[in-house]
Amino acid sequence: MVEFWAFALALSILLYVLLDGFDLGVGMLFPFARGEEERRRMLASISPVWDGNETWLIISAATLFSAFPPVFAIVLSAFYIPLFVMLAGLILRGVAFEFRYKATLSRPLWDAGFVAGSYAAAFVQGAAVGAIVEGLPIENGVFVGNGMSWVSPFAIFCGIGLCIGYALLGACWIARKSGGSLRTFGFAALPKLMAALLAFLVVVFAWSLAIRLPVLARWTERPLLLVCPLIGLAAFAVLAQAVRSRDDRFLFLGGAAIFLAAFATLAGSFLPYMLPFSLTIWEAASPTTSLAFLFWGAGIFVLPLTLAYTLIVYFVFRGKVVGERSY
Amino acid sequence: MDLTPLLLSRIQFAFTISFHIIFPAFTIGLAAWLTFLEACGLITGERIYRRLSDFWLKIFAVTFGLGVVSGIVMAFQFGTNWSELARRTGPIQGPLLGYESFTGFALEATFFGVLMFGRDRVPRWAYFLACLMVSIGTSLSAYWIMVNNSWMQYPTGYSLAANGVFIPDDWSAILFSEAVRTRFPHMVLAAYVTSAFCVAATGAWYMLRGTAVQEGRAMAVMGLRLAAILVPLQLLFGHLVGDYVHDRQPAKFAAIEGRWNDEQPASEILIAWPDPKNERNLFEIAVPYLGSIIGSMSLTAKETGLKSFAAADRPPVAIPFFAFRIMVGCGLLMLAIAWVGTWLSFGERLVKARLFLVATSLSFPLGFVATLTGWYTAEVGRQPWAVYGELRTADALTPVLTTGEVAATLTLIACIYALIFGFGALYIYRLLRAGPIPRTDISLFGTNPKRPLSLPGASPGVTGGAGIGD
C-alpha cells in the first residue's frame, strides 16, 4: 500500500513537472516573442492543455496530504511565503489567459501577470527542490526552522536552473506545435537554453561536491544511479541533433527525457527517504486504514481515469497549431 | 487585540473560506436546477425549459470556475498555516479532502464537458443524464467536505497514537456519523434554497424590466414554488442540526442561546446584547419555558449554561449568538417571500404585484447571508477547538509562523481575490443583464474542473476544446 501511494505520488509529480513545465516555459518565453500575432499563437499552443496540466499539482498535493501527512505539513510550512507566491502566480497566470482578450487598455498588465506568474512558479519549485536536497531542519517529524530556512545560494541557484529547464521544455513545445516564424523562434532559442541548462547541471554537480551534500554519498553506494546522468547526456545529444536538422518529431521527448533523468536521479538518491535524511516513506505514510480507504476508490478508479483523460486531451489536440483557434 | 500569527491565520482562513463557500453554495443548487429544467423539458417538451437551461448554464460555468479557483488556496492552507492539524489529523482529513477533489475530477469533469459542448451532439436524455451526474458530483463533493467538517465538530471512529496522530479505525462511523446525517442535508438544502432565490430574484427583475417577461415569469414562479417547499424542509433539518449540537456540543449550544447560567426550566432569549466580560446579557428579551422546549422538547428540562464550562473551553459568544439569529431571520424572511409568492403565482396576480416583485428581486443575497452566518455559527461555535474536545485551534497552528509572514500572505490573497472576484462578479452581472436571449457562443464560457486554475472566458482554444466532452 505504501509503495503504491509513493509510486502514485512520484508519478503525479513527474507528470506535473513535465506537463506544466512546458506551459510555464512558454509563459517565460512569451515576452521574447515578436509582436501580438506570435504571442497569440504561443498562447493558442498551450491554451487547450495548460490548466489540465495544473490538475496534476492538485492531485500531487491531495495525494501528499492523504498518504504522507507529515511531509505535507513539513514542506508546506517550510516554504510558507514562496508557496503563496507560487499560488498567486498560478492564479494570475490563469486569469491572464482569459482577461487579456477581454481587455484593451490593460492588456500589458495581464501579460505582465502571465509572465511574472510563470517565472515565480518555476523559481519557487526549483528552489524548493534545492532546499530539500540540502536538507530541511526537521526534528521528530516536525519542521523546526523558520520562514527563511529554505533560502540559500544553492536553493536560489536551483530555482534559476528550473526556470531554464522549463523554458527549454517550452521552446521544444513551441517548435513542435507551431510553424513559420514561431517555429523558427523556438529553434533559435533552443541552443542557448540547452547550453545554459548543461552549464547549470555541471555547476550544480560541482557545487554539491564542494558543499559535500549528504545526498552524494548515495552515488558511491548505488553506482547504478550513474545510468541516469548518462541517459540525460544521451538525451542532450539527441536534442542537439534534432535542433541541427530542424527535426521537431522527437524534440519534446528529448527535453522530457532530460527531466526524466534528473527526476530519476533525485528519486534514486532519496529513496527510501522522502525528505533526506529525516523521514522515510514508511515513517511518513498514513496508517494502513487510511491508505486502504484511499486505494479502493481513488487509487484503482480515479487515478487511472484522470490519466486516461490526460491522454485523450493530448490526442485530441495533437499536431500543429495552424491558426489561432483551430488545431 | 494583539495581531498574533494565530489570529491572522484564523482571519486568513475565514476570509478565504467565506469567499469560497459562496460559489459552491450556488453551483450545487444550480446543477440541481439545471437537472430539474432538463427533466421538465424532457417530460413536457416545451421549448422554454431549453431557453432557461441554456441561460443558467452560462452562469453555472462562471461560478463553477470561480469556485474551483478559490478552493485551491483553501487546500494548501491546511499545510501552510495549520500544519500541526495536517500532521495529526492527516490520516483522517487527508483521505476525506482527497476524495473531495478526486470525486470532483471523476464525475464532474467528464460530464461537465458534455454539458458545455455536447448540447447538439448528444440526445436529450443523455444531456439530462449528464446534468444529473454533474449534480450528483457537486453534491458528493459537498458530502466529503461535510464529512470532514463534521468529524472536526464531532470526532469519532478514531484512536490516538502516541505522537498525537489520529488513526482512523472505523471509517463507516466517520462517514455516516450523527453529525453528517443532519449537517449534510442542511448544507445541500442551503445550496438549493440559495439558488432558488437567485433564480426567483432574476426572474422578478426581468418581469419588472419588461424584458424576457415570459422567461422571467417562469423563473420567478418556479424559484418561488421550489423555495416554498425547500425552506420549510430546511427549517426542519436546521432543527435536527440544533438537536445534535445540543447533545454533542453543549458549549456551542449555550453560546448560540446566549445562556450563561444553568436554567430549569430554561427560557429562550430572542434578542440581547451579550456581555462576556461580566458573563451576562444586556437588554435581554426572553420567552420563559421556550428554551427547554427547543432544547429538549420538554417544559421542565434543565439546560446548560456557559458558566458550566471552564473559561478556557468556552467559544466566543457574540458571533455564534448573532450569526445564528441572522441566519434564522433570513430563513423566516425567505419562508414569507416564498409562500406569499407561491400564493400570488396562481393566476395572473404576480405580474401586477410590483412591490412584491421588487422585494423578490432584492432577495437574492438572503440565501448567501444565511449560508455564511450558518457557517460562522458552526465554526466559531466550535472554538477554542479545531477538533472538538481533542485539539485546540492554538495547537493546530504551524508553530514556526511569524506575524509578518501571515500578514504578508493575507494581504497577497486579499488583493488577488479582490481582482478575480471583482471581474467574476462583473461577468455574472453582464450575463444576467443580457438575459436569456438565444445565443450561440455558450462554449466560449466553458471551463472545466480538470482545468482548476482557469477562469471561464473567451481564450483562444477553449472553443477548440469542444472535442473533449465527446
Per-residue pLDDT 10s for chain B (470 aa) are: 678 889 999 999 999 999 888 888 888 999 999 999 999 988 888 888 888 888 888 888 888 877 777 777 888 998 899 999 999 999 999 999 888 888 776 667 667 777 777 777 778 888 888 889 889 888 888 999 999 999 999 999 999 988 889 999 999 999 999 899 999 999 999 999 999 999 999 999 988 888 888 888 888 999 999 999 999 999 999 999 988 898 899 999 889 888 888 888 888 888 889 888 888 888 888 888 888 888 888 888 888 888 888 888 999 999 999 999 999 999 999 999 999 999 988 877 888 888 889 999 999 999 999 999 999 999 999 989 999 988 999 999 988 888 989 999 999 999 988 888 888 888 888 888 888 865 444 443 444 444 545 554 444 333 333 332 22
- Rounded to the nearest integer, the mean pLDDT of chain A is 85
Q: Which pLDDT score is estimated for A322? A: 62
Asked if the interface predicted TM-score (ipTM) of this complex is over 0.90, the answer is no
Q: Which of residues 20-59 of A touch B (CB under 8 A)?
A: 40, 43-44, 47-48, 50-52, 54-55, 58-59
Q: What is the rounded radius of gyration, in angstroms, for the C-alpha atoms of chain B? A: 23
Q: How many CB atoms lie within 10 A of CB A93?
A: 26
Q: Which pLDDT score is estimated for A305? A: 81
Q: Which pLDDT score is estimated for B457? A: 47
Q: Which pLDDT score is estimated for A310? A: 78
Which residue of chain B comes nearest to A301, CA vs CA?
B106
- Grid look-up 482557469 returns B454
Is the per-residue pLDDT at A325 higher than 50? no
Burial of B18-53, coded b for 16+ CB within 10 Å and e otherwise, reads ebbbbbbbbbbbbbbbbbbbbebbeeeeeebbbbbb
Which region, left, alpha or beta, applies to residue A180 given φ > 0 means left and ψ of -120 to 50 means alpha? left
Indicate the residue of A70, A75, A298 with minimum beta-carbon distance to B98.
A298
H/E segment holding residue B181:
helix B178-209
Task: Pull the grid cell for residue B405.
Answer: 509572514
With an 8 Å Cβ cutoff, is B240 touching chain A? no
With an 8 Å Cβ cutoff, is B160 touching chain A? no
Q: Which amino acid is at A312?
A: I
Task: Pull the grid cell for residue A245.
Answer: 536538422
Q: What is the DSSP letter of B385?
A: E
Provide the pairing of β-strand A279-280 with B158-160: unpaired
Q: Which of residues 349-408 of B touch A (CB under 8 A)?
A: 398-402, 405, 408
Distance from CA of B49 to the nearest CA of A (A): 30
Q: Which pLDDT score is estimated for B329? A: 94
Q: Which pLDDT score is estimated for B119? A: 77
Section A140-153 average pLDDT: 84
Q: How many CB atoms lie within 10 A of CB A227?
A: 13
Q: How many CB atoms lie within 10 A of CB A316?
A: 16
With an 8 Å Cβ cutoff, is A61 touching chain B? yes
φ, ψ dihedrals at B272, nearest 5°: -170, 175
Q: Which pLDDT score is estimated for A300? A: 85
Indicate the residue of A50, A54, A302 with minimum beta-carbon distance to B102.
A302
At residue B391, the 3 state secondary structure works out as strand
Q: Which of residues 27-86 of B touch A (CB under 8 A)?
A: 69, 72-73, 75-76, 78-80, 83-84, 86
Q: 3-state SS string over A250-282?
A: CHHHHHHHHHHHHHHHHHHHHCCEEECCCEEHH
Q: Which of residues 240-299 of A touch B (CB under 8 A)?
A: 286-287, 289-290, 293-294, 297-298
Indicate the residue of A145, A289, A324 with minimum beta-carbon distance to B460.
A324
Distance from CA of A316 to the nearest CA of B (A): 7
Q: Which pLDDT score is estimated for A297? A: 82
Residues in chain A: 327
Indicate the residue of B102, B400, B456 with minimum beta-carbon distance to A146.
B400
Provide the pairing of β-strand B391-392 with B385-387: antiparallel
Q: Which pLDDT score is estimated for B466? A: 31
**What pTM, to 2 d.p., does this model score?**
0.85
Section A28-36 average pLDDT: 88
Q: How far apart are CA A44 and CA A61, in angstroms?
A: 28
The model's pLDDT over A260-313, given as tens digits with 9 standing for 90+, comes to 998 888 888 887 888 887 888 888 888 888 888 988 888 888 888 888 877 877
Q: Which pLDDT score is estimated for B272? A: 86
Task: Determine, for residues A66 and B97 on separate chains, whether the beta-carbon distance falls below 8 Å.
Answer: yes
| Domain range annotation of chain A | 2-213+298-316
Q: Which amino acid is at A297?
A: G
Indicate the residue of A65, A312, A327 with minimum beta-carbon distance to B97.
A65
Q: Which pLDDT score is estimated for B60? A: 86
Q: Which of B443, B470, B439, B440 is nearest to B459 (CA)?
A: B443
At residue A217, the 3 state secondary structure works out as helix
Indicate the residue of A81, A312, A317 with minimum beta-carbon distance to B409.
A81
Q: How far apart are CA B383 and CA B314, in angstroms?
A: 7
Q: Which of B214, B206, B221 is nearest to B47 (CA)?
A: B214
Q: Which of B229, B230, B225, B214 is nearest to B52 (CA)?
A: B214
Which region, left, alpha or beta, applies to residue A140 given φ > 0 means left and ψ of -120 to 50 means alpha? left
Torsion of CA B275, B278, B279, B284, to 10 degrees: -50
Distance from CA of A234 to the nearest CA of B (A): 34
With an 8 Å Cβ cutoff, is B87 touching chain A? yes
Q: Which pLDDT score is estimated for B93? A: 93
Task: Pull the grid cell for residue B404.
Answer: 509578518
Section A69-73 average pLDDT: 91
At residue B167, the 3 state secondary structure works out as strand
Task: Name chain B contacts of A67, Cβ cutoff 8 Å.
Answer: 94
At residue B52, the 3 state secondary structure works out as helix
Task: Determine, for residues A59 and B402 on separate chains, whether the beta-carbon distance falls below 8 Å.
Answer: no
Q: How far apart are CA B172 and CA B177, in angstroms?
A: 8
Task: Determine, for residues B168 and A293 on separate chains, whether the beta-carbon distance falls below 8 Å.
Answer: yes
The band of A213, judged by pLDDT with boundaries at 50, 70 and 90, is confident
Q: How far apart are CA B81 and CA B401, in angstroms?
A: 8
- Grid look-up 477581454 returns A102
Q: Which pLDDT score is estimated for A323? A: 52
With an 8 Å Cβ cutoff, is A209 touching chain B? no
At residue A187, the 3 state secondary structure works out as helix
Task: Pull the grid cell for residue A95.
Answer: 486569469
Indicate the residue of A48, A73, A88 with minimum beta-carbon distance to B412.
A88
At residue A138, the 3 state secondary structure works out as strand
Q: How far apart are CA B442 and CA A125, in angstroms?
A: 36
H/E segment holding residue B292:
helix B290-296
* Neighbour-count burial of B364, counting CB atoms closer than 10 A to its CB (0-12 exposed, 13-18 middle, 19+ buried): buried
Distance from CA of A32 to the nearest CA of B (A): 20
Are B349 and B232 spatial neighbours (Cβ–Cβ below 8 Å)?
A: no
With an 8 Å Cβ cutoff, is B163 touching chain A? yes
Q: Which pLDDT score is estimated for B106? A: 65
Are B374 and B22 spatial neighbours (Cβ–Cβ below 8 Å)?
A: no
